[in-house]
């Protein structure tokens, strides 16, 4: 069987919004109609209801909706007290919004490398990167996998740093029985449409146990108001709107089941690709992944990608350029070679299609496309 023949009859899109909508259509349509009929579009009952439902889902006391995940990172840092002299350690292997969110808060970036198994922050690298101005560590649960929370918490304690989480790719992931988003002093979420819990537009939130951080966030997201038309502090406008909140509330009950389907697809890939010359992502023992993305690593990444494309299988690259090699952050003064694990990841990662409504034939088309490439059909 040739690689193209293997998948030629089945198209495998990277994401599938149509079937995701179809699966919850009644609930979503009702939610949208309810908001339009209410005439209340900003910070009303839908946002409050979703904040409550999501906080119960996470097992934290407070969830504060905001405009998007990048703002969630910035607002979380500001509410946690980050100032312009404070450094925040983030992984070099991450998407641009991680760095953008930190910079939007006014704080300084400090990059550290990731571990080769999970491609999330390596606590030893954080320890080496931390200096006298470092005050925060941002654990990014990339690809849906849980970062080394025990290791990062230990470094944070030893060095007097505050641990924060970026859960934009880990809605529903868990570590030792608790959800990601409940470990740090606060956690940022994105509801960008492609995330495991996605809105039909932009959306974000911060989760926290700390009532003072929650209070500051509610003020910062709305002009710095402490009450209507009275600014206690300089704020901005970054609100989750009622339509998106209602849609998210309609989709939240399906998140666990969707994540379980994602994990089943990932487990199938794990087994079907185990004997190939590919590096698969490791899952931290004791963790439950949200299986947001399924990156494999290959020195022949671009050729694998082309072959899959020819077989009708869409893939992605998460992420092609590590943060220290992004022109926008050249001022940090890093060079190629500074974060070798992140650089190697950027050169070799390829994300296979992974979403809850992939069909059996689609998943098999992905596998046979790759096996065909390596002559292992």
Ligand X SMILES: *Cc1c(COP(=O)(O)O)cnc(C)c1O
Binding site for ligand X (CB under 6 A): 68-70, 95, 97-98, 140, 166, 168-169, 190, 192, 202, 204
Distance (Å, rounded) from C-alpha 278 to C-alpha 102? Answer: 33
Return the exposure string of 228-242: e unless at least 16 CB atoms fall within 10 Å of the residue's CB, then b.
eeeeeeebbebbbbb
Looking at the Cβ atoms of 192 and 373, the one nearer to ligand X is 192
- 176, two tokens: 């030792």
180 three-state secondary structure: coil
Shortest distance, position 106 Cβ to ligand X, whole Å: 17
Looking at the Cβ atoms of 110 and 371, the one nearer to ligand X is 110
Do residues 4 and 308 make contact, with C-beta atoms less than 8 angstroms apart? Answer: no
Shortest distance, position 220 Cβ to ligand X, whole Å: 16
**Residue, CB closest to ligand X:** 69
Shortest distance, position 361 Cβ to ligand X, whole Å: 29
Looking at the Cβ atoms of 120 and 307, the one nearer to ligand X is 120
Count Cα neighbours of 200 within 13 Å in the Cβ-side half-sphere. Answer: 19
Looking at the Cβ atoms of 171 and 216, the one nearer to ligand X is 171
Looking at the Cβ atoms of 190 and 368, the one nearer to ligand X is 190
Cis peptide before 319 (omega within 30 of 0): yes
Shortest distance, position 165 Cβ to ligand X, whole Å: 10
164 three-state secondary structure: strand
Shortest distance, position 212 Cβ to ligand X, whole Å: 24
Looking at the Cβ atoms of 140 and 366, the one nearer to ligand X is 140
Distance (Å, rounded) from C-alpha 150 to C-alpha 126? Answer: 13
Shortest distance, position 77 Cβ to ligand X, whole Å: 13
Shortest distance, position 271 Cβ to ligand X, whole Å: 27
Q: What does the DSSP 8-state code read for residue 124?
A: H
Shortest distance, position 376 Cβ to ligand X, whole Å: 32
What DSSP string describes 258-280? HHHHHHHHHHHHHHHHTTSS-EE
Distance (Å, rounded) from C-alpha 183 to C-alpha 144? Answer: 15
Looking at the Cβ atoms of 35 and 167, the one nearer to ligand X is 167
Looking at the Cβ atoms of 127 and 166, the one nearer to ligand X is 166
Quote the crossing angle between the two packed helices 69-79 and 211-220, to the nearest 10°: 120
Compute how many other C-beta atoms are within 10 angstroms of the C-beta atom of residue 246. Answer: 27
Shortest distance, position 231 Cβ to ligand X, whole Å: 25
Question: Residue 289: what are its φ and ψ, rounded to 5°?
Answer: -80, 150
Do residues 292 and 15 make contact, with C-beta atoms less than 8 angstroms apart? Answer: no
Distance (Å, rounded) from C-alpha 265 to C-alpha 353? Answer: 9
Shortest distance, position 73 Cβ to ligand X, whole Å: 6
Distance (Å, rounded) from C-alpha 198 to C-alpha 189? Answer: 10
Looking at the Cβ atoms of 170 and 279, the one nearer to ligand X is 170
Distance (Å, rounded) from C-alpha 194 to C-alpha 356? Answer: 12
Looking at the Cβ atoms of 86 and 165, the one nearer to ligand X is 165
CA 44 to chain CA centroid, nearest Å: 26
Q: What is the 3-state secondary structure (H, E, C) of 282-297?
A: CCCCCEECCCCCEEEE
């Amino acid at each position: 069987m040739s690689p193209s023949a293997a998948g030629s009859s089945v198209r495998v899109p990277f994401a599938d919004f149509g079937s995701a909508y179809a699966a919850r259509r009644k609930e979503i349509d009702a939610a949208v109609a309810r908001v339009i009929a209410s005439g209340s579009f900003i910070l009303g009952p839908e946002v409050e209801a979703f904040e409550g439902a999501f906080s119960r889902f996470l097992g934290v006391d407070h969830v504060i909706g905001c405009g998007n995940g990048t703002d969630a990172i910035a607002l979380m840092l500001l509410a946690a007290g980050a100032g312009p002299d404070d450094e925040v350690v983030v992984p070099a292997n991450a998407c641009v919004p991680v760095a953008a969110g930190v910079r939007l808060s006014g704080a300084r970036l400090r990059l550290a490398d990731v571990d080769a198994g999970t491609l999330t922050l390596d606590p030893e690298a954080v320890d080496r990167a931390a200096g006298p101005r470092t005050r925060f560590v941002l654990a990014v649960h990339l690809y849906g996998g849980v970062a080394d929370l025990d290791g990062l918490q230990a470094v944070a304690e030893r060095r007097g740093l505050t641990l924060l989480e970026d859960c934009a790719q880990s809605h529903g992931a868990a570590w030792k029985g608790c959800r990601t988003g409940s470990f740090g002093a606060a956690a940022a979420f994105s509801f960008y449409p492609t995330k495991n819990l996605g809105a039909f537009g932009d959306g974000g939130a911060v989760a926290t146990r700390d009532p003072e951080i929650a209070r500051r966030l509610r003020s910062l997201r709305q002009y710095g108001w402490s009450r209507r038309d009275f600014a206690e502090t300089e704020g901005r406008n970054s609100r989750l709107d009622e339509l998106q909140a209602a849609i998210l509330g309609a989709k939240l009950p399906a998140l666990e089941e969707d994540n379980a389907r994602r994990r089943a697809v990932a487990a199938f890939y794990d087994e079907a690709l185990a004997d190939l010359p590919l590096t698969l992502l490791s899952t931290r023992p004791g963790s439950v992944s949200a299986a947001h993305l399924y990156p494999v690593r290959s020195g022949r990444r671009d050729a694998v990608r082309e072959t899959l494309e020819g077989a009708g299988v869409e893939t992605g690259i998460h992420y092609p350029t590590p943060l220290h090699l992004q022109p926008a952050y050249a001022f940090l003064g890093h060079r190629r070679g500074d974060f070798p694990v992140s650089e190697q990841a950027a050169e070799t990662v390829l994300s296979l299609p992974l979403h809850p409504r992939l069909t059996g034939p689609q998943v098999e088309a992905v596998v046979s496309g790759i096996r065909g490439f390596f002559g292992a059909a």
